[in-house]
Amino acid sequence: MTLTHPEDPALPDRPPTLAHVAELAGVSPATASRVLNGSARVSRTARQQVEAAVERLGYVRRRGGSPDRESSGTIAAVVCEDACRVLGDPYFARLLWGVRRELDGRAPLVVLMAGRPDEWRATTGYLRGGRAEGVLLVGARRDQVAPLVQAAAGAPVVLAGRPLDEVALPYVDVDNRGGAHAAVRHLLTSGRRRIGTIAGPADTGAAVDRLAGYRLAAREAGMGVNGLVCQGDFGRLSGERAMRRLLERRPDVDAVLAASDQMAVGALSALRRAGRRVPDDVAVVGFDDAPVARQVRPRLTTVRQPAEDLGARLARELRACTGGRPNTERRVVLRTKLIIRESG
């Protein structure tokens, strides 16, 4: 694909418009608009040409009453997970309810999934269209933050969770490290000495911090962790698989901290199939305090994170940014709490 060189005199010397994008891409303005709006009714070639033209021109849809703008005051919550995962994990519902509660009808809320390639294209197209007054990023992986911030076209962005790379953006998080540390300390106090962990994805701040809390508590207690760390993806099936690996590596394991309640439930299933009693043989602790923690048997000891309060605080921080506060780094960390039940 060939586009005009940026020094070509045919390029505009004023802020580019949709017409300039369409002309440079060799498509109609209607096609260019559909690409920017995330429509699927566009050929792959046309999409690539328009996206290349947008990048070459530095095109940004104008805000504040411009004809380019299709909505006003909309808040976009971008969830970087597959729709099935989002709809099946109560954590996301609680967080988004907190966002909605805080907005209280003062701004429309649009939830965008970005877990699959087609969802990613639609989401970034929506954001590039300048249709969001502010953007919340939920569950963004390390390599997703910068592209989504760029696609936001200058709109304020607030992150849910600590970013792994240094970025000058505000974020709201929970004390993942402290929560995991408290959970391991509890297990040690109850007499457990071979404590494993099922960590989450290594490209998310929450998983990294929970693993760090586990390692810190183990180091303080002089407990070796060789063969005691397995990884999952926060989902139930991954927790079951990881627990099986832990039992193969360290059949003497007497406790496990899972980085999510869903993985903890998977671990319970694997232990049951292996003939291990919970908590007599192996204690299990989760992280979230999702409804499932009270529904399983034995009921799950877990680290409660205030997902609804997290969502509300995200919305509050974003409203402050859209209200004129500079969109620079501001760190808010909410407390977690160990909830002791029957599993450990």
Task: Check whether residue 100 and residue 29 sit in a common domain.
Answer: no
Task: Identify whether 248 is part of a domain.
Answer: yes
Q: Which residues of 14-51 are buried (b: 16+ CB within 10 A; e: fewer)?
A: eebbbebbbbbbbbeeebbbbbbebeeebeeebbebbb
Task: Check whether residue 272 and residue 182 sit in a common domain.
Answer: yes
Residue 37: CATH number of its domain: 1.10.260.40
Return the number of other C-beta atoms located less than 10 Å from residue 92's C-beta. 21
Number of domains forming the structure of the chain: 3
Bridge partners of 334? 174
Domain holding 12, by residue range, is: 1-59
Task: Check whether residue 180 and residue 324 sit in a common domain.
Answer: no
* CA dihedral of 182, 183, 188, 190, whole degrees rounded to 10: 110
Return the number of other C-beta atoms located less than 10 Å from residue 85's C-beta. 18
| pLDDT over threshold 90, residue 326 | no
Task: Check whether residue 285 and residue 245 sit in a common domain.
Answer: yes
Task: Identify whether 343 is part of a domain.
Answer: no
292 Ramachandran zone, left/alpha/beta (phi>0; psi -120 to 50): alpha
Task: Check whether residue 161 and residue 236 sit in a common domain.
Answer: no
Per residue in 69-99, pLDDT tens?
A: 444 578 999 999 888 888 888 899 999 999 9
Query: How far apart, in whole angstroms, are the C-alpha atoms of residue 127 and residue 267?
Result: 39
First to last CA, the chain: 60
Per residue in 196-234, pLDDT tens?
A: 999 999 999 999 999 999 999 999 999 999 999 999 999
Task: Identify whether 66 is part of a domain.
Answer: no
| pLDDT over threshold 70, residue 5 | no
Task: Check whether residue 115 and residue 263 sit in a common domain.
Answer: no
Specify whether the CB–CB gap between 205 and 161 falls below 8 A.
Answer: yes
* Closest C-alpha to 233, from 270, 204, 212: 204
Task: Check whether residue 166 and residue 88 sit in a common domain.
Answer: yes
Task: Check whether residue 166 and residue 312 sit in a common domain.
Answer: yes
Task: Check whether residue 188 and residue 297 sit in a common domain.
Answer: yes
Per residue in 145-198, pLDDT tens?
A: 999 988 887 788 999 999 998 788 899 999 999 999 999 999 999 999 999 999
Task: Check whether residue 184 and residue 110 sit in a common domain.
Answer: no
Task: Identify whether 207 is part of a domain.
Answer: yes
The fraction of the chain above a pLDDT of 70, given in percent, is 86
Task: Check whether residue 283 and residue 207 sit in a common domain.
Answer: yes
Residue 221: CATH number of its domain: 3.40.50.2300
Query: How far apart, in whole angstroms, are the C-alpha atoms of residue 261 and residue 258?
Result: 7
Task: Identify whether 342 is part of a domain.
Answer: no
| pLDDT over threshold 80, residue 2 | no
Specify whether the CB–CB gap between 284 and 256 falls below 8 A.
Answer: yes
Three state DSSP letters for 240-299 = HHHHHHHHHHCCCCCEEEECCHHHHHHHHHHHHHCCCCCCCCCEEEEEECCCHHHHCCCC
Task: Identify whether 197 is part of a domain.
Answer: yes
Task: Identify whether 138 is part of a domain.
Answer: yes
Task: Identify whether 69 is part of a domain.
Answer: no
Task: Check whether residue 168 and residue 181 sit in a common domain.
Answer: no
Please tell me the predicted confidence (pLDDT) of residue 132: 86
15, 34, 59: which is the final residue of a domain? 59
